[in-house]
Chains A and B, each alone.
Chain A
Amino acid sequence: MSSPARVRAVKLGALLIVAVVALLVPVFETDPATVNVAVFTAMYVGLATAWNIMGGYTGYVSLGHAAFFGFGAYAFGLVLAHLGIQAGYEPFLFVPIAGALTVVLALLIGWIALRTRAATFVIVTIAMMFMIQLLAENLVGLTGGGSGLSFPVPPWSGDFFDTPFYYAMLLMAAISLAISWWIRRSKFGLGLLAIRDDEDKALAVGVPAHTYKLTAFVISAGLVGMIGAIYGYYVTYIYPQYAIDPLVGISLVLMVFLGGLGTLWGPVLGAVILEPA
C-alpha cells in the first residue's frame, strides 16, 4: 500500500474506532452522572465545530453565538407548545424547525454585523447577544420573561433519561463535523480561508466575500440553534440568563482555540478536553 493510501486507511480506522466508542458510551456506562457529562461533551463538540465554520474558516470571531443557542432553545420550546407536541421522541423531529428559525435570525444579524471586520465584528456580536437576551427577558407574553419557559418533560426513567439526548447531541455533532469536512474540501471553503488570510486579496481573485461570510455565519448559527433546541428539551426549563449565557459562547470559542482554530478536528479535541474537565 502506498504511503498516502496507508495514511488514509489509518485515519479511517481511527475514525471508525472513535465512532464506535462514542456510540457505545451509554451501553457500557450506565451511571447517569457520567452519561450527563457525555451529553454535554457531545453538545460542545457540535457547538465548537459549528462555530469553527465561521470563526475558524473565515477568521471572524463571534462571541455572540450564545444568542443563537438560546434562540434555538426558545424557538423550539414555542414550536412544541404551539403545535401541542407531547413529550417523548416526537419533539426531536421538530428540531430542524428551530434550526430554520435561527437561520432567519442569523441572516438578519449577519447581514448587518458582517459589514464590519476584526474587533468591531466581535463587539457587534456581543452586543447582538445581549439584545437577544434582553428581548427574551422583556417579551414576557412570548417567552415567559424572567419566569422562563417550560418544555414537555420526557417520560423516561432516571437511568435512561440521558440516553436519547446523548444520541441526539451525537448526531448533531456528526452532522456539524460532516458539514465542516465538506466545506473544508470545497471551493466555498477555499474562499473562506482566503477571506481569513486577507479579505481584500480574496476579493481581488474573485471570491464573493460578503456572500460567503454570510453563508458561513448562517450555517454556523443554524447548527448552533438546533443544538440549543435539544439542550432546551434536555433541561426542560429555560430562562434568558441561562439559555443565552455569554459563558457558553466564550467556552466554545476557547475550545476551538485550544484544539486548533480552522481545523476539522481541533474543535472536537478542545471540547473533549475542556468539557469533562
Chain B
Amino acid sequence: MSALLELDGVTAGYGGGDVLHELTLSVDEGGITCVVGPNGAGKSTILRLVSGLIKPRLGGVRFHGESITGLTPRQILQLGIVQVPQERSLFPTMTVWENVRMGAYTLSDRALMERRMRTVCETFPIVAERRHERVAALSGGQQKIVEFARALMLDPKLLVLDEPSMGLDPKTHTVVFDLIRDMNRAGRTILLVEQNARSGLGLASHGVVLESGRVRLEGTGAGVLGNGEIGRLFLGAPV
C-alpha cells in the first residue's frame, strides 16, 4: 500500500514548547492507522497538525505526495481530509438532516450534494429515519453516527477520528467501531487516535505507539497489541 499521508521529521507544539519531536509517521492508503499512547504523548497534536490548526516548526506534512504544510484548515478540508473531533461537534438546535447537510457546506453543486446525501442515508439509515429530529434528542452513540455521516458528505480521502469511543457505553461502542470497520471496507482511509488501545489497535491495519512525541513502536495493529512490554509501559497492563 502507498502512503496517503506522511509526517516527515515533524517537530511541533504550542507556544514555546515542542510536543512532537522529529516525528515520522505514515498513513497507508486504504488502511486504518491507529495512534495510541499515554496522555501527553502528542496524539491530539498530530490531529491538529494534520487539520492545519497548528504548523510544524520543523519538518513537513505531505498528502498524496504533495506538501500541505502551511495550508489553512479550509484548504485541507477541501483536499479531502475531514476530522471528526473528540467532543460533540454537531449543531444542537438543528435537525439530523440539517446537521448532515452542514458537512457539505462548501459544496456548491446541489445535485452532487443530494447524491452524497442518498449515499450517506444508505450507509447510516438513522439519518433518514430521524431526519426531522433535533440532534440534541439523540443518544451519544447516535450523535456520533450523525457526526460520521456528516464527515462522509465531503467524500473524504482521509477520515481522521479523534477518540471515537469516548463517552460511549459498551454496546454503542461496538456499533461505532463496526461502522468504522465498514467505512474502511468501503475504501475509506482512516487515521484513528484512541485512548482505548485494545479497541483501536484491534481494528487497525497499522498501529503506532507514541511516547513523549516520538514513535516508540509501530507495526501491524495486532502486532503492537500483542507486545506485552508496550502494554505494561504505556497502557497500564498487558493488553
The chain A residues found within 8 Å of chain B, CB to CB, are 187, 190-191, 193-194, 196-198, 201-202, 204-207, 262
Measured in the bound complex, the distance between the Cα atoms of B121 and A222 in whole Å is 40
Measured in the bound complex, the distance between the Cα atoms of B103 and A194 in whole Å is 11
Measured in the bound complex, the distance between the Cα atoms of B74 and A206 in whole Å is 7
Asked whether, in the complex, the Cβ of A194 is within 8 Å of the Cβ of B106, the reply is no
Q: Given A205-B105, A206-B105, A206-B106, do A194 and B73 touch, yes or no (CB 8 Å)? A: no
**Min CB gap A135→B, angstroms:** 38
Instruction: Determine the residue in chain B with the shortest Cβ distance to A206.
Output: B106
- Count, chain B residues at interface, CB 8 A: 14
* Chain B positions 71-107 with a Cβ under 8 Å from a chain A Cβ: 73-74, 77, 89, 91-94, 98, 101-103, 105-106
Asked whether, in the complex, the Cβ of B91 is within 8 Å of the Cβ of A207, the reply is no
Of A196, A204, A207, A262, the contact of B73 (CB 8 Å cutoff) = A204
Chain A positions within 8 Å of B105 at CB level: 187, 190-191, 194, 205-207
Asked whether, in the complex, the Cβ of B98 is within 8 Å of the Cβ of A190, the reply is yes
Interface core residue of B74, B91, B92, B101 (most chain A CB under 10 Å): B91
Helix, strand, loop or mixed for chain A's interface? helix
**Min CB gap B101→A, angstroms:** 6
25 A/B residue pairs, CB under 8 Å, sorted by A: A187-B105, A190-B94, A190-B98, A190-B101, A190-B105, A191-B105, A193-B94, A193-B98, A194-B91, A194-B94, A194-B105, A196-B93, A197-B94, A201-B89, A201-B91, A202-B91, A204-B73, A205-B102, A205-B103, A205-B105, A205-B106, A206-B74, A206-B105, A207-B105, A262-B93
Total of A-B residue pairs, C-beta within 8 Å: 36
Asked whether, in the complex, the Cβ of A197 is within 8 Å of the Cβ of B92, the reply is yes
Instruction: Determine the residue in chain A with the shortest Cβ distance to B74.
Output: A206
Instruction: Determine the residue in chain A with the shortest Cβ distance to B101.
Output: A190
Measured in the bound complex, the distance between the Cα atoms of B135 and A193 in whole Å is 14
**Min CB gap B84→A, angstroms:** 11
Interface core residue of A205, A207, A262 (most chain B CB under 10 Å): A205
Measured in the bound complex, the distance between the Cα atoms of B100 and A190 in whole Å is 11
Measured in the bound complex, the distance between the Cα atoms of B88 and A197 in whole Å is 12
Asked whether, in the complex, the Cβ of A198 is within 8 Å of the Cβ of B74, the reply is no
**Min CB gap B152→A, angstroms:** 13
Instruction: Determine the residue in chain B with the shortest Cβ distance to A193.
Output: B94
Measured in the bound complex, the distance between the Cα atoms of B133 and A27 in whole Å is 43
**Min CB gap A191→B, angstroms:** 7
Measured in the bound complex, the distance between the Cα atoms of B91 and A193 in whole Å is 8
Measured in the bound complex, the distance between the Cα atoms of B87 and A198 in whole Å is 13
Measured in the bound complex, the distance between the Cα atoms of B102 and A207 in whole Å is 9
Measured in the bound complex, the distance between the Cα atoms of B102 and A228 in whole Å is 36
Instruction: Determine the residue in chain A with the shortest Cβ distance to B94.
Output: A193
Chain B positions within 8 Å of A204 at CB level: 73, 89
Measured in the bound complex, the distance between the Cα atoms of B105 and A207 in whole Å is 7
Chain A positions within 8 Å of B91 at CB level: 193-194, 197-198, 201-202
Chain B positions within 8 Å of A196 at CB level: 93
Chain B positions within 8 Å of A207 at CB level: 105
**Min CB gap A72→B, angstroms:** 31
Measured in the bound complex, the distance between the Cα atoms of B73 and A182 in whole Å is 30
* Chain B positions 115-162 with a Cβ under 8 Å from a chain A Cβ: none
Instruction: Determine the residue in chain B with the shortest Cβ distance to A204.
Output: B73
For the complex of A and B, 10 pairs with smallest distance between CB atoms: A206-B106, A197-B91, A206-B105, A205-B105, A205-B102, A194-B91, A197-B93, A201-B89, A194-B102, A193-B94
Chain A positions within 8 Å of B89 at CB level: 201, 204
